Structure 1
Amino acid sequence: MTLNAQELHASFPSAGFLRRLAAWVYDFLVAVAIIMLSSALALGFAATLTALNWVELSEEMDHAGWLAQGPWYSIYLISVLTLFFGWFWKRSGQTIGMRAWRLKLQNRDGSRLTLKQTIIRLLTCCAGLGNLWVLVDFKNRRAWHDYAAGTEVVTLSKEANQLFYWNEL
């Protein structure tokens, strides 16, 4: 059974703050793991550069200090997280935390996000703090980044969540 975008939009209510917060906590833990893995890769890269004698470290500097001395390491980590969230939002409308809490990000008509909407959402999400607006917006329960990108987050039924999961594989 396949559902069209209009049926999905009409079928599911907007997500409330507590459910969004729970998904944010899950995604935060995943983001920490991704940062750890990305940092390990960056440290391996720095170690390779020093092993090849392309970079020389002073006596008091280690690989982590070398990485942290300029803005590039921070830009790298932010880029990794941006790609992680952007890929999930654009591809399926669900991050790992959103899938666990049966949330789905979509256009107001139920369709998937465009690349432009994904970028707008990434630039305006304020690391999730924009979700606080849901506490004030009783009628629509939309966050700042939802308004900026023209999107909404809905709560799926268990069946619909499974359906979306299997359709994405």
Structure 2
Amino acid sequence: MSQRRFTQLDCVWPAPLARRLGALIYDGFLLAAIWIAVAVTHVAFFRFVVGQSAEEIGTSALEVWTLRLLLVFSAMVFFAFSWTRGGMTLGMQSWRLRVETVDGYSITLRQSVVRCLVAWISLAALGLGYWWVLFDSERRSWPDLVSGTRTVVVPKESA
């Protein structure tokens, strides 16, 4: 998939922390719904395809680790698909935010995977990777810095 150039690049500005947190909360609810669907499908697979009894489900390391990997994978697919397609997740659309390259193009799959991985680290560090926007002159978070992207506020007309 080729990168597309966004329009009205002179009308965007770096996203402040409050908007980022708002979008993060919105996307958190959507991601929770995705994770519920993944978990239900995972349990149903072991219950009805593998044939385990209800008491056996979730007791082996294989089941626990496959579920964990599926949850991480589904989160990365959700964000990577949204960011590479239009630069926005559903939560970001609500808060008029967009992720783009520093040149104003949609981000690549590689950049979105890097953003996801660094986002996990940023959250694990008590959110320090996101608090970083308060200290960076261009309001970049750790995911922005490491992936070579930026998160901007889009004007109302083009949102």
The verdict on a shared fold, with TM-score over 0.5 as the criterion, is yes
- Contact 2:76-2:113 within 8 A present in 1 as well: no
- Contact 1:120-1:149 within 8 A present in 2 as well: yes
Relative distance call for 1:44 and 1:158 in structure 2 (3 A) is: same
CA shift digits 1:70-123 (9 cap, x unpaired): 422111111111111111011111001000000001011111001221121112
Pick the structure with greater CA Rg: 1
RMSD, matched Cα = 2.2
The answer to whether residue 109 in structure 2 is matched with residue 109 in structure 1 is: no
Once the two structures are TM-superposed, the CA of residue 50 in structure 1 deviates from its matched residue by 3.9
Task: List gaps (5 residues or longer) in structure 1.
Answer: 162-169
Q: Aligned residue for 1:90?
A: 84
- Contact 1:8-1:110 within 8 A present in 2 as well: no
Once residues 30 and 6 of structure 2 are traced to their aligned partners in structure 1, the CA distance between those partners, rounded to angstroms, is 32
Once the two structures are TM-superposed, the CA of residue 67 in structure 1 deviates from its matched residue by 7.4
Compute the TM-score of the two structures, normalised by the length of structure 1: 0.80
Once residues 21 and 6 of structure 1 are traced to their aligned partners in structure 2, the CA distance between those partners, rounded to angstroms, is 23
Once the two structures are TM-superposed, the CA of residue 69 in structure 1 deviates from its matched residue by 5.0
Q: Aligned residue for 2:132?
A: 133
Alignment of 1:18-29 (within 5 A): 18-29=18-29
Task: List gaps (5 residues or longer) in structure 2.
Answer: none
Compute the TM-score of the two structures, normalised by the length of structure 2: 0.85
Once the two structures are TM-superposed, the CA of residue 9 in structure 1 deviates from its matched residue by 2.4
Count of residue pairs the alignment pairs up: 151
